Amino acid sequence: MPVSEIGQPEVLQVLSPIWTVKHETARRVAQRMKAVFDVARSRGHREGENPVTVVLDGRVLPRVKAKVKHHKAMHWREVPSFYAAVLRQPGIAVKALAITCLTGCRTSEVLQATWE
């Protein structure tokens, strides 16, 4: 289907079945579709509003309350033996885990760290 012919009904047809069941996936799909439509418009392949924006801003899809899943924390008394076991393992990923333990940084901060 040409990108110029895709409208709100087609966007709803894609997002509706997964919006409440797999909300994070649906949200990411919507984000990527929006980007495609924005690029298509900037290159002259379509005109008018972005159908994803219209659907999301119009609150056509049901509201989904995010269900937060927390990971169980390690008891503080177990941390020294865990850290010692980490240090005995080879590999760069283990070193990243050790830095995470020592600094309390987020995973992305450790993975994107530079020597500076």
The whole-angstrom separation of Cα 6 and Cα 56 is 15
Angle, CA of 65, 68 and 72, to the nearest 5°: 165
Mapped onto helix, strand or coil, the DSSP state of residue 47 is coil
Predicted model pTM: 0.59
User: Do the Cβ atoms of 97 and 86 come closer than 8 Å?
Assistant: yes
Q: What is the pLDDT along the chain (116 residues), one digit of tens a residue?
A: 999 999 999 999 999 999 999 999 999 999 999 999 999 999 999 999 999 999 999 998 999 887 778 889 899 999 999 999 999 999 999 999 999 989 989 989 999 998 88
Cα within 13 Å of Cα(61), Cβ side: 25
Of 3, 8, 14, 13, the residue nearest 41 (C-alpha): 3
Let me know if 99 is exposed, middle or buried by CB neighbors in 10 A (0-12, 13-18, 19+). middle
